[in-house]
A and B are shown apart, each in its own frame.
Chain A
Amino acid sequence: MTTPTTDRHADGATPAPDGDVLLSVEGLVKHFPIKGGFLRRGRTAVQAVDGVDFSVRRGETFSIVGESGCGKSTTARLVTRLLEPTGGTVRFDGQDITHLSEGRMRPLRRDIQMIFQDPYSSLNPRHTVGKIVGAPFRLQGVEPEGGRKQAVQDLLELVGLSPEHYNRYPHEFSGGQRQRIGIARTLALKPRLIVADEPVSALDVSIQAQVVNLLEDLQEELGLTYVMIAHDLSVVRHVSDRVAVMYLGKIVEVADRDDLYDRPHHPYTVAMLSAVPVPDTGRRQNRERIRLQGDVPSPINPPPACRFHTRCWKAQEVCRTEEPPLVPLGGPSHLVACHFPENVTPATPVSTPTPTA
């Protein structure tokens, strides 16, 4: 179900032309070699991200969801170049930033900012709020109009804190307020892209809502583009325009928010959505839940072909031998990597090979 009010952005309803892409990622790979003794060096690697493609349009909120170990946080650190990709390309506003040096990357750091999960550990406890929020000005050597102090106080007001908080220390604030301080810091240099890694998951429910609303207001006011990394599917549904689902280092499904939540195609997406606890006591008895068996396999030695086949109730021989490509299904903007997708009306041609008997 879609309500017209949910289209927050003027261009959100129609598929954007290519010129509107702010961030694009192709074949992104990150392998972390496992450090062993000198007898077994370089033999194995954690395949944290293993061939990921997506693009993020200007002004939208693009979310990446998945369970722990699926590579979503690594992806966030790759596109912000806190990590160096092993392979693939990352393009920001048309410029290839995959292997830019730290020095060449510095001017871009103004445009790409990151918000972290833990508001407790990401702020230096010995610095005042003013110093923390003003740090980007100092690091980039920017002198804003009206002076740095004025600029910092404006930022504090923008995120719903009082300008009088300028000289206080982080420990004097609650978790939600600290996350606001962190957000104020990321906004200092007027970034164009904000990558937020679990921005609200460490916060209490009542505070979560405040921060979610704040992020939405800021997006509208400043025309920000968000890449949101999260595991809470309810929050993701609330904030996102488009959603990608990752499993063991690969994207298994990407679609517009409502498409994904109303008609998920990948069995993993279906299972994950059905597992979300619903705050409705009436639903308890008559809910159909897909119980996935077992745990996520290790990314050191992921299953061959379709990585989900070890836990999938629809898996057949072809799933073990042939990797399904990420292809459009039922519309140009809904991509899924599965041989036997769910929720497919019979009229829709299935672009996958039939299983061999």
Chain B
Amino acid sequence: MGESGSGKSVSSMAVMGLHTSRSARISGSIRLDGQELVGAKQDDVRRLRGQKMAMIFQDPLSAMHPFYTVGNQIIEAYRIHNQVSKKAARAHAIDMLDRVGIPEPRSRIDAYPHQFSGGMRQRAMIAMALSCDPSLLIADEPTTALDVTVQAQILDLIRDLQQEFDSAVVIITHDLGVVAELADDIVVMYAGRGIEQGSAEAIFNAPEHPYTWGLLGSMPRFDRPPTERLLPIKGTPPSLIRVPSGCAFNPRCEFSDRVRGDACTTERPELLPAGSGTGAHVGHGAACHLPTAERQQVWAQEISPRLA
């Protein structure tokens, strides 16, 4: 989860190995099912793409080739990794279209993307991504371009198919509602880094990073009585060419004056374990110079009441 320019799409493209060595330098480590992907042979990563990890994108109209039928594109995806006849692949494609809820898949398979509605196209994209039964599905803003009723259909579909295919899903979004609907675990990104991570419960009910607090205060809460005013974060997200020194969030942070010294502007906070340590929120971490106890106090006494 993060706003535009926070690096969430770039990270997922790196996982898929879709950055070219000419345009990007990748360091660190990406492990898929134990296999290291950073520095692996390009052809080895290519073999994993589509088969072990698949991806769906924000705008299904531009993400599908306009000149090939929906069926052809699914069949192609399936036959890259499976040595089967065209006929068998076609039958599989029809089955996939059926499973993602496209009516009359037998005739719709020969339609072109532009003949589908937005929701249908996203279903077809999902069918294509799942055609090789991947263990990891990355969905980059999968519902942002869709209307709310269609969005609900697609979110339901992703959840149902996740159960059915038993895949891990990485969902990339700026919409906290979508996150809460789907996610078990969340990483909040800001200026190219994860600044808080934890279970969905931890992030929504006991967040510890000032940026996460800001996000929660910025959005009108549909599930609570209307409030008088929203509580925006001041300022604007930083340019990634000139990221602020120290904690990238410091120019917008309301609480940096509570940190002793000038740590916020000089020292980048590490993502360290957070939470009460009772084990309630395993894996909860935040990158902030405020001491954990103080953060929890600020949330409980100052932030949480304002949001209710």
Contact = CB atoms under 8 A, between A and B. Distances in A.
B225 interface: yes
B226 A206 contact: no
Interface string A218-243: 00000000000001011101100000
Among A216, A234, A291, residue most surrounded by chain B Cβ atoms (within 10 Å)? A234
Among B117, B174, B219, residue most surrounded by chain A Cβ atoms (within 10 Å)? B219
Contacts of A176: 236
B236 A272 contact: no
Interface residues of B, number: 50
B229 to A, nearest CB: 6
B3 interface: yes
B63 interface: no
Nearest to B226: A6
A141 interface: no
B147 interface: yes
Interface stretch (B79-87, B90-98, B176-184, B291-299): B176-184
A26 B24 CA distance: 57
Given A5-B228, A206-B215, A238-B220, A277 B205 contact: no
Contact of B223 (A210, A278, A295): A278
A283 interface: yes
A210 to B, nearest CB: 4
A207 B3 CA distance: 10
Given A233-B148, A271-B149, A272-B149, A277 B230 contact: no
A118 interface: no
Given A206-B3, A291-B153, A3 B226 contact: yes
A199 B180 CA distance: 25
B151 A277 contact: yes
Given A67-B147, A271-B149, A291-B152, A277 B180 contact: yes
A213 B229 contact: yes
Given A174-B237, A291-B153, A281 B174 contact: no
Interface string B193-206: 00000001100110
Nearest to B227: A238
B122 to A, nearest CB: 11
A279 B120 contact: no
A274 B103 CA distance: 24
Contacts of A82: none
B236 A295 contact: no
Nearest to B202: A281
Contact of B219 (A1, A2, A205, A284): A205
A209 B217 contact: yes
A283 B223 contact: yes
Contacts of A279: 176-177, 179-180, 204, 216, 219, 221-223
Contacts of B147: 67-68, 231, 296
A284 B179 CA distance: 11
Q: Which 5 A-B pairs have the closest CB atoms?
A: A277-B177, A209-B232, A275-B152, A67-B147, A238-B220
25 contacts: A6-B228, A174-B236, A204-B4, A205-B176, A205-B215, A206-B3, A206-B215, A206-B218, A206-B233, A209-B218, A209-B233, A234-B219, A238-B227, A238-B230, A276-B148, A276-B177, A277-B152, A277-B175, A279-B179, A279-B219, A279-B223, A280-B204, A289-B152, A289-B156, A292-B152
Given A1-B225, A213-B230, 19 more contacts: A67-B149, A204-B4, A206-B3, A206-B232, A208-B218, A208-B232, A209-B230, A233-B148, A234-B221, A235-B220, A271-B149, A272-B149, A276-B177, A277-B181, A278-B180, A279-B219, A281-B205, A283-B180, A291-B152
